[in-house]
Amino acid sequence: MKSKSTLPPYICTYSGDLLAGVDEVGRGPLAGDVVAAAVILDPGSPIAGLADSKKLTEKKREVLFDEIREKALSFAIARASVEEIDQLNILHASLLAMKRAVEQLSVQPEFVLVDGNRKPRWDYDCDTVVKGDDRVAAIAAASILAKVTRDREMVALDKVYPGYGLAGHKGYPTRAHMEALERLGATPAHRKSFAPVRRQLELI
């Protein structure tokens, strides 16, 4: 029986220390901002266990969240709002959030690695890495910061808009969320340009 293939590590031509990884979380949900993070790791303070945030338990993410913030040379967390998502579309809002995150780093990077296959419009030397959160430590760290931040925000929104289950599904279009949307209507935290929300608003 053949073993499952694994992605090779990404080989970056940049060999200095000021390498930033950037990733975003929240493109698929019907509600909430899209959140991005950028991280420059410290080669002298390695962090064990970095991986795609989606593949880690919530407890492990929380532990790594604190460790990344403590040990990174620099990190920043940014977002694009629900209003910006509706105005720009989710792809361009995600790129905007990533651009903001990198620009807010207290230490400016010499090279940036962007998760995915699209990069923001900027003047940084950079490259894109498909499935980068599985292949580049700095991108994995960014994905963890972004996911923990967004998850916490959705838990807080659940208290503002009870009945939708936002703390559980984090805004993703689960059956429970769709049923709540149909029953209760859309909130200001919902993305009006997303089809399920738009259809509900058209019924009003």
Distances, alpha carbon 178 to alpha carbons 20, 30, 67, 133, in Å: 37, 9, 36, 29
Tens of pLDDT, residue by residue, the chain (204 residues) = 344 445 567 888 888 899 999 999 999 999 999 999 999 999 999 999 999 999 999 999 999 999 999 999 999 999 999 999 999 999 999 999 999 999 999 999 999 999 999 999 999 999 999 999 999 999 999 999 999 999 999 999 999 999 999 999 999 999 999 999 999 999 999 999 999 999 988 876
**Alpha carbon distance 43, 95 (integer Å):** 27
Is 23 annotated among the ligand-binding residues? yes
* Total length of the chain: 204
**Alpha carbon distance 77, 104 (integer Å):** 8
**Alpha carbon distance 183, 163 (integer Å):** 10
Q: Where are the domains of the chain?
A: 19-152
Distances, alpha carbon 23 to alpha carbons 34, 101, 173, 181, 204, in Å: 11, 9, 22, 29, 36
Closest CA to 130 of 23, 34, 13: 23
- Give the model's pLDDT for residue 8: 65
- Give the model's pLDDT for residue 200: 87
One of 3.40.718.10, 3.40.50.300, 1.10.3720.10, 3.30.420.10 is the CATH number of 19-152, namely 3.30.420.10
